[in-house]
Amino acid sequence: MRVVIAGGHGKIALLLAELLTTRGVEVASLIRSPGQAGDITATGAQPVVLDLEHATAADVAAAIQGYDTAVFAAGAGPGSTAERKYTMDKGGSVLLADAGAQVGLRRFVQISTMGAGSPPAAGTDAVWAAYIDAKSQAEDDLRARDLDWTILRPGRLLDTPGNGLVTLGLPPLPYGSIPRADVAAVLAEILPAEQTFGTTLELVSGAIPVSSAVAKFS
């Protein structure tokens, strides 16, 4: 397995890259700024400078040639505009999948969010509503593709240490929170797990060890 992570400088992406490289997996992390390269190298991954908001599918295909697995962990981030939710959270995923098709990449794991797949509640902040809508559209695009895809929807993300105990299931799960470290641990287990192909999963903290939570789908 050779893995490319889009949004490679994000907190979950950095944790995931280190988990994978310590297991001997070759990882390339796509980053927007050359100044982020040192943090990527520290995880054992290979930094690749590529701005998904300004790249073409051909640009991305050239960067990911030879990789068989993609993780879309990119996003516009806090404080960004509603427009950027569509150009990054949706457009970035679509672009990565388009490029993956050009190079024969089969496995695609998309990090989404709990709340995607349903209309935002009435009165929701316009930027948050755009975020949920963009994530929902990105999910729909991925489901329509001939790929071994998995969509993972974590709950509210925490920077507290992970404990390796989660609740992972088909939607809808009751809304909850989850440390980013535990999201990364679940992603590392999901990547090779064929039983999760073609599934949308939600994730919050719980009482089941990560490996058992993923294995139950077999």
Classified as helix, coil or strand, 65 is coil
pLDDT at residue 124 in the model: 86
Share of the chain above pLDDT 70, in %: 100
Give the residue-averaged pLDDT of 136-143. 98
Query: Contact, 100 vs 145, CB < 8 A?
Result: no
Choice between 80 and 30, residue whose per-residue pLDDT is larger: 30
Number of other residues whose CB lies within 10 A of the CB of residue 3: 25
CA pair distance 189, 149, nearest whole angstrom: 14
Give the pLDDT band of residue 218 (cuts 50, 70, 90).
low
With a cut of 80, say whether residue 120 has pLDDT above it: yes
Domains and CATH numbers, the chain: 2-215 (3.40.50.720)
Q: Using one digit for the tens of pLDDT, what is the confidence trace for 157-181?
A: 999 999 999 999 999 999 999 999 9
Give the pLDDT band of residue 34 (cuts 50, 70, 90).
very high
Number of other residues whose CB lies within 10 A of the CB of residue 144: 10
What DSSP assignment string belongs to 92-154?
HHHHHHHHHHHHT--EEEEE--EEEESPPPTT--HHHHHHHHHHHHHHHHHHTSSSEEEEEEE
Give the residue-averaged pLDDT of 126-136. 95
Helix (H) / strand (E) containing 60: helix 57-64
Encoding tokens for residue 124? 């929701």
Q: Using one digit for the tens of pLDDT, what is the confidence trace for 81-96?
A: 999 999 999 999 999 9
Encoding tokens for residue 123? 């009165």
pLDDT at residue 123 in the model: 83
Give the pLDDT band of residue 42 (cuts 50, 70, 90).
very high
pTM: predicted TM-score of the whole model, two decimal places: 0.97
